[in-house]
Chains A and B, each alone.
Chain A
């Protein structure tokens, strides 16, 4: 059961009133239950702080009793800012949320972590880089934090789950409105082994202005923030600025200078010398973790070796592989699928293959 102080905070947090007013109200008393009493009696200092929002709280006093029900029903854990589980590092950001609504493993909130963020629109390059970093960092034991959006966020979550790593998704709305809806399945998977976090009460919508605010929590929860691909207009630039403001380590993956999809990263690298990372180990050095070399050797047939040699470090279209290998098309087709199943190569958009 929830204790009375937490419940008061939860109740106040459920109203859409300005942050400053909530903050003022909650800082009035150490024992929060007196707030309710004062509202009931229309005490002067409460009315003064709340101003025109006072009536809303006064009229909804009766909702206090049931405010926790919906969370109990859906197994949502409530961590208020006075709760010992509330992550210390989150208290150092601007306007730390009063309540964290969590589904999943709340121990992850205080684990060693890395935020991996980027554009919703990814190029093949962005996809490869994100997969590579997320996989390596998750394997090294870091918790991967991201925002469940399309593109880089989803790839970061998914790659982490693929190697049984731990991941946190920070949402921009209440749990009743998982956004984007396509990632609902992904959210369910994360809830099982990782953690879903939001500062919004159960039924709140994903308003556009929530997302920059959501980014401050990603930056706040992470020990470092990695941006794998972001254009200059991308919302990821908010996360970058928060990371700088909160003194987090910022890691940027450079991109092709002709690609607008990497414009944001490249420009930030230009301005912040030294933030550039080229491999997961560059990040892990700061965490004092040594990446273990994979000693798993896969037996390759001669045909498979041939294909691996042809592909090299490039991303090659099917017909080029066909011409260079001189194998029968039907044989090549099944060979490429077999190699995908073995995990030696990957198929990417445009009928291309890479290692």
Chain B
């Protein structure tokens, strides 16, 4: 008896169609899986057999051949357990053969016949939708993630028994209710807010500019000054994600298995803060299965590198290409995968190894050489991609206790949203969405200065010891500042403020 069932596989963040074919022949009892299956799939034999038996169904004692087509693509993971079991049952007639046509199946089986959660459901659903396969059976545990794609009929199964009953028309499973993105958005609450950070006006303003123009930012300040808290609040002033953006982010997290089961879709821009011992592969993605790394998990959101000079130099240098292109290509022996990695980089560092340089209360114990070494850990090309440097004030107790109502994230976000809209209109028809990503030609076109501003800039370069590479950065940042104010022209005051955000170029320390 031959039986064919539809399922899906994953390459990177996109799914592809897999046909699970089963042939049951007379001969010595055996069970073979062909079609470049990995060990997890080969082991499915034991799970499928036990699951079928423990569900009170018959497992054939014949020569069984399983083929996963296309046969030349490497397949991995446990998500073929369910389609293999269904194919077997339809081949043996336990479920009516015709009834499974037009359905796709994804899921891992447990020995007792229940269906377990798998990673990467969302990209599979999107692929199914594109291919016109509209009816799918997925694990019950994945149900929330699966309820956001419109036009799909998705059934969440708890166990094999339930599935068989459904196909025998004994007890039907209800398809999942469609949930809208708006509903999901309301479910998630932010615990961070800028109003919770006292003082730090210059840092907050710089973060506002970074959010408005999509600029990368470096915060410099002594330990305990609130750099991390500021960074964590940063996503709250970023513009909301569109549904498409949210889907793309959720896809990546779905594959990585970092998705929250209860919400099922990521509505807030992700915030990733890998520890400084993170390896290059952890950051960029890779490993035997070419998994997405931290920079892809931060896609459309924020990558926060606390204590940036403590990361290994090699790891930091790998960020250069994704910072420029917004994607990372991970090449491994068996596959080459391109993951999106379009994030805002927030880096933080101390002014010196001990952290007290410039502090009013504590004495710095570092030698000039140590400080030079510390600052030099960040290479020029990498620093080139960071538009804003801002110093964070160290907080003293009296300032903390001052009773001043701080501005909330929501009101900052309004200004950011307005500035972003101006940029979207400006770059309409191009592949660029914010000021930070402007090409040199665009900088020339959109960042025209009047004579007074040019003079000021020239004076700033000589007086404040700015390095030449700061030039374009300053122009881009001043464009954003002008956008925040709703000004068409870049005024001298905008240029001045932008100059202030180059403190690492302005080498007044050491």
Question: Is A334 a contact partner of B493 (Cβ separation < 8 A)?
Answer: yes
Interface string of A133-157 (1 = CB under 8 A from B): 0000000000000000011000000
| A348 proximal to B (CB < 8 A) | yes
Interface of chain A, helix or strand or loop or mixed? helix
With an 8 A cutoff between CB atoms, is B357 at the interface?
A: yes
Which of the 9-residue segments A80-88, A210-218, A336-344 touches chain B?
Answer: A336-344
Say if the beta carbon of B325 comes within 8 Å of chain A.
no
Is the beta-carbon distance between B358 and A337 smaller than 8 angstroms?
Answer: no
Q: Is B360 in contact with chain A by the CB < 8 A criterion?
A: yes
Question: Residue B118 at the A interface, CB < 8 A?
Answer: no
Chain B residues near A331 (CB-CB < 8 A): 493
B508 at the interface (CB under 8 A from A): yes
Contact A348 B508 (CB under 8 A): yes
Q: Give the residues in chain B near A343, CB-CB below 8 Å.
A: 463
Residue A322 CB within 8 A of the other chain: yes
Q: Check if A336 sits within 8 Å of B500, measured CB to CB.
A: yes
* B422-457 near A? 1/0 per residue, CB < 8 Å: 000000000000000000000000000000000010
Number of A residues with CB within 8 Å of any CB on chain B: 36
* Closest residue of B by beta carbon distance from A119: B368
- Let me know if B363 and A350 touch, CB within 8 A: no
Instruction: Kindly state whether residue A301 has any CB partner on chain B within 8 Å.
Output: no
Cα A320 to Cα B205 in complex, Å, equals: 15
Q: Interface segment, B84-92, B163-171, B195-203, B239-247?
A: B195-203
Q: Which residue of A260, A319, A334, A351 contacts B497 across the interface (Cβ within 8 Å)?
A: A334
The CA-CA distance from A322 to B204 in the complex, in Å, is 12
Mask: chain A, 228-260; 1 = CB below 8 Å from B; 0 = not = 000000000000000000000000000000011
Q: How far is the CA of A153 from the CA of B137 in the complex (A)?
A: 76
Q: B351 on the interface (CB 8 Å rule)?
A: yes
Which B452-508 residues have C-beta < 8 A from chain A? 456, 459-460, 463-464, 481, 484-485, 492-497, 499-500, 503, 506, 508
Asked whether, in the complex, the Cβ of A333 is within 8 Å of the Cβ of B358, the reply is no
Given the complex, which residues of B lie within 8 Å of A317, measured CB to CB? Answer: 360, 393-394
What residues of A have a CB within 8 angstroms of the CB of B496 in the complex? 333-335, 337-338, 341
Q: Which of A264-283 contact B (CB under 8 A)?
A: none
**B508 adjacent to A322 (CB under 8 Å):** no
CA separation between A89 and B493, bound complex, in Å? 54
B195 to chain A, nearest CB (A): 15
Residue of chain A at shortest CB distance from B370: A121
A182 CB within 8 Å of chain B: yes
B residues 192-227 in Cβ contact with A at 8 Å: 199-202, 204-205, 221-222
Task: Give A341 to B368 CA distance when docked, in angstroms.
Answer: 27
Partner of A341, one of B357, B363, B463, B497: B463
Which of B364, B464, B481 touches A340 (beta carbons < 8 Å)? B464
Decide: A333 near B205, CB < 8 A? Known: A182-B372, A259-B363: yes
Q: Is B391 an interface residue (CB 8 A)?
A: yes
User: In the assembled complex, how far is the CB of residue B174 from the closest CB belonging to chain A, in whole angstroms?
Assistant: 55
Contact B204 A329 (CB under 8 A): yes
Q: Does B359 contact A (CB under 8 A)?
A: yes
B368 touches A150 (CB 8 A): yes
Q: B201: which of A120, A124, A329, A340 is its contact (CB, 8 Å)?
A: A329
B510 close to chain A: CB less than 8 A: yes
Tell me if A341 and B202 are in contact (CB < 8 A).
Answer: no
A318 near B510 (CB under 8 angstroms)? Answer: no
Measured between alpha carbons, how far is A319 from B510 in the docked complex, in Å? 24
Is A318 a contact of B368 with CB atoms below 8 Å? no
Contact status B497-A330, CB under 8 Å: yes
CB <8 Å contact, B205 and A337: no
Report chain B residues within 8 Å CB of A124: 358
- B360 nearest in chain A by CB position: A350
* Docked pose: A208 CA to B506 CA in angstroms: 31
Distance in angstroms from B363 CB to nearest chain A CB is 7
Q: A182-B372, A333-B497 are in contact. Are A322 and B201 (CB under 8 A)?
A: yes
Known: A120-B368, A150-B368, A348-B508. Is A340-B199 also a contact (CB below 8 A)?
A: no
Q: How far is the CA of A124 from the CA of B499 in the complex (A)?
A: 22
List, in ascending order, chain B residues with CB within 8 A of A182's CB: 372
Provide the B350-385 mask, 1 if CB < 8 A to any CB of A, else 0.
Answer: 010000011110011011110010000000000000
Roughly how many angstroms separate A333 CA and B357 CA in the complex, as a whole number?
22
The 4 closest A-B pairs by CB, nearest first: A349-B358, A350-B358, A334-B496, A351-B391
- Since A319-B201, A337-B496, A350-B359 are in contact, a sample of 9 more A-B pairs with Cβ atoms closer than 8 Å, ordered by chain A residue number, is A123-B364, A150-B369, A180-B368, A322-B201, A323-B404, A330-B485, A350-B222, A351-B358, A351-B391
Q: List 24 A-B contacts (CB under 8 A).
A: A120-B368, A123-B363, A150-B368, A261-B363, A317-B393, A319-B202, A319-B393, A329-B202, A330-B485, A330-B497, A333-B202, A333-B497, A334-B495, A337-B460, A337-B497, A337-B500, A341-B459, A341-B496, A347-B503, A347-B508, A350-B360, A350-B394, A351-B391, A352-B358
Q: Please report B residues at the A interface, Cβ cutoff 8 Å.
A: 199-202, 204-205, 221-222, 351, 357-360, 363-364, 366-369, 372, 391-394, 399, 402, 404, 456, 459-460, 463-464, 481, 484-485, 492-497, 499-500, 503, 506, 508-510
